[in-house]
Structure 1
């Protein structure tokens, strides 16, 4: 850690992504939707071996916030980002640790003695991906681990939490949220998947007063609107609602960011009437390798911008730039040798 601390601390569920090309029949076999994210049930457990044995799957470091942490570190100076989560005591944890090291990302994993490292089956169909996650050890993160490293928390300048962690350890999220509000540090949360506002509405709402930044895509925003009975599907309206929810730290205006794939990114700022719209960076369809982790990459670029003290417009541009790089790669990766960000305008 740099003597003056990390620019960004990220918390969520470290997973090994098992990524393979699938088809409609495979989706149907496991009861999956083409562009969705779910937690694995018993009926899904065969998918991981199926991908490895029959779909020539590749193994990559995953978990949404870990993707974001690696992406932010891609842009920021060495040792700027640290990531917390729980892994098992196995070779898959070693793969994750090696991948983080290669990216220059610092990690503090809690190691669970009983559960294996979590896995995410990624079924790629065309430009869509369906995520099916067996959390395993990732589900065993404890507040005690964060408290053991509280000196790192205190020295870190901003916090980013993946919404998937709302299914795991709300006390750890709230500890970061309260520290952020107390010390006037940015606290960001990603919605991550439609099932979070649908089935984890109460813990999500518990964190809401602490959001300085809330980020999600259009399907997650729609799920939020439905679960909170907003009676609208209009994305700018939903963004404005999110931006203007009651807020604990009044020294910062909340910013709500909603991505829409190839459609413009929508940004609403607390107390401002105008909702901003930012066209995405155009990319030739032939160049798209895989959209897995594109939203995580956007969040990475955006929050690297926040960490650098950039204006919202520049941070959005950085997010879109990194997302465009990521979707040219297989899996949630970034190109090496590293490319250097340059503004689009």
Structure 2
């Protein structure tokens, strides 16, 4: 099987500025744990404050880019994955390029005049909160996607993953790729990504969903999605089933919904049935940082999906990757996976 460029991701490349902070810092900037939000005016000074007062690490991030990097690491096949998004022409952008190259991902960044996007990762007691200042990441244009050398990545890919965060940036790019995937019978996957996406970007999300063959998410996002759609249920299994049964453009395959629930079993809804898969439980003292756990799960899952492995193996690989990542700072991993 030809693996070069088999998996393509598009999203918001952000440089994670990650630090263990204290509750006082969270209170000062009105930040809730286990949340993901876009930076507002009140958050803009926090990036410098973090760098000045805490032990900060810089890690190439952004949800989709994390998942693609993890899939690449799990596959260990150079150039199996590609990625597009927008960065700035600055030192953070250079850092991002270096990081991606080292990870073995074939990146085609659009380079904008605004600064490279950053994401503050505030860690307290192993739990994290994300505050993204999109900046250059917010400037991606479908014109970049349409350039022959970039569209060639779309044509080469058999599997495509675009997390919901990209809905806030370039919905027209998502639609171009989603329509291509449906027309060519490729597998298009997406993610609920965050409660605010389900709430404030419902209309664009509803446009993209008919093209989705696999939808990922976590239990909080699933419950928000349910409430926004007036489903009047908090039951994650029921919600996963309902998402899997939403109208679909490409009817040659049924949609699969995959919902993670932290330490609780992963919910998979497919073809009118729900299956639960246990996760690898980690003793609290081994938990370093939950940042990137969901992204890593998706990356692990996709690494097996592109090899046409059964869903059970995909979930197992997702759980393995998430388990590795939460024992490290940021979305980082050892040199080689030991997934069996």
Instruction: Tell me which interval the TM-score lies in, with the shorter structure as reference length.
Output: over 0.9
Unpaired runs of at least 5, structure 1: none
Counterpart check, 1:210 vs 2:208:
no
2:51 maps to which residue?
52
1:215-230 alignment runs, 5 A limit = 215-230=216-231
Map residues 236-255 of structure 1 onto 2, 5 A cutoff. 236-255=237-256
User: Does 2:334 match 1:341?
Assistant: no
RMSD: 1.2
TM-superposed deviation, 1:339: 2.1
Q: Distance in 1 between matches of 2:284 and 2:81?
A: 32
Which SS does the other structure have where 2:82 is aligned? strand
Q: Secondary structure at the match of 2:165?
A: helix
Matches within 5 A, 1:173-322: 173-269=174-270, 271-272=271-272, 274-322=273-321
Matching residue of 2:80: 80
Aligned residue-pair number: 337
Match for residue 36 of structure 2? 37
Matched, 1:151 2:152: yes
CA distance in 2, matches of 1:4, 1:201: 34
**How far apart are residue 127 of structure 1 and its match?**
2.2
Q: CA deviation at 1:286?
A: 1.8
Q: Secondary structure at the match of 1:291?
A: coil
- Stretch deviating more after TM superposition (315-324 or 147-156): 147-156
**2:95: which partner in 1?**
95
Whether contact under 8 Å (1:7, 1:156) holds in the other structure is yes
Q: Which runs of 5+ in 2 are unaligned?
A: none
Look up the SS of the partner of 2:146 in the other structure.
helix
Counterpart-to-counterpart distance in 2, 1:51 and 1:160: 32
Please tell me whether the aligned partners of residues 3 and 80 of structure 2 are also in contact (alpha carbons under 8 angstroms). Answer: no
CA deviation after TM superposition for structure 1 residue 155, in Å: 1.1
TM-fit CA distance, 1:124: 0.4
Q: Which runs of 4+ in 1 moved over 4 A?
A: 2-5
Paired with 2:285 and 2:206, the residues of 1 have a C-alpha distance of: 40
Name the SS of the counterpart of 1:257 in structure 2.
strand
| Deviation string, structure 1 residues 168-193 (Cα, Å, up to 9, x no partner) | 00000001100100000000001111
